Amino acid sequence: MESSRIIYVATYAGKIMLESGGEIYRVEDTINRICQAYGIKQVDSFVVPTAIITSAVKDDFRSKTVIKRIKHRSFNLQKIVRVNELSRAIVADKLSVHEAYRELKEIEQMKGYPLWLSTLFYALISAAYTIFFGASVLDAIGAFVAGAVMRLILYPFEKGQFNVVFIHVIGGAAAAIGIVLLTLTGWFQMSNMMLISVLMNLFPGLIMANALRDIMAGDFLSGMSRVSEALLIAIAIAVGSGSVIGLSMSLFGSDIL
């Protein structure tokens, strides 16, 4: 019974890391270290972006397996840090299995950044990229507003745990609509740079980085899976923004952006 709890706790820790944006090799290493720290020496874990399978053999040669399905993923580096700290505490023999489980429950229930803060950062990133791409301060202010509005539009879809591709289609469309409306005021000159800057918030950069790290670590299946996810997200952004741009050009002329 105790070995089953150990395997479950180790897999639970890996699940939290994977759902929070952790790399495959890091998740597998954490699972293996936790099991070994509690005395299970023969342990194998198979991790892909959508599932975790952990199998271990105790001294009685009986195999025990735990499977965790990953249905929703986001990016929360604070959770990854907390799980890493917990793993080190377990290895240092400072926590029992029950204490580790309670700690993991607390970590899983941690909330992300509040809406006002994430909205502010979306807006600041949009404005910063606009300046970086050579636009004016006034254009940056417009991108600031468009980035904030896009974040507010995306929030209910993210809370409702809609499909990630659908969310990025909505995000691309929201960004394009915001920039088109701002352009119609006649106050902004480099609306194309404004749109690109706002869309940078949606770019799957961390997914691509994790994909490359997985591939370099030899996890080709997981790496290619994440590459495919990043490509789908990029296509979704293009579909959302491109549809709005095409409609705007037919309504207001080809020089709208």
What's the pLDDT score for residue 60?
Answer: 67
What's the pLDDT score for residue 150?
Answer: 96
Q: Which two tokens stand for residue 241?
A: 């923004």
Backbone angles phi, psi at 38, to 5 degrees: -95, 10
What's the pLDDT score for residue 18?
Answer: 93
What's the pLDDT score for residue 154?
Answer: 94
- CB count within 10 Å of CB 2 equals 11
Mean pLDDT per 10-residue run, the chain (257 residues)?
84 94 89 90 88 84 86 87 93 87 93 90 96 92 95 92 91 94 88 94 90 86 90 95 90 72
The angle, 0 to 180 degrees and rounded to 10, between the axes of the packed helices 220-252 and 191-199 is 150
In sequence order, the β-bridge partners of residue 65 are 55
Q: Which two tokens stand for residue 216?
A: 């370099």
Backbone angles phi, psi at 45, to 5 degrees: -130, 140
Residues 6+ apart with CB under 8 A from 159: none
The number of C-alpha atoms within 13 Å of 10 and in the hemisphere containing its C-beta is 34
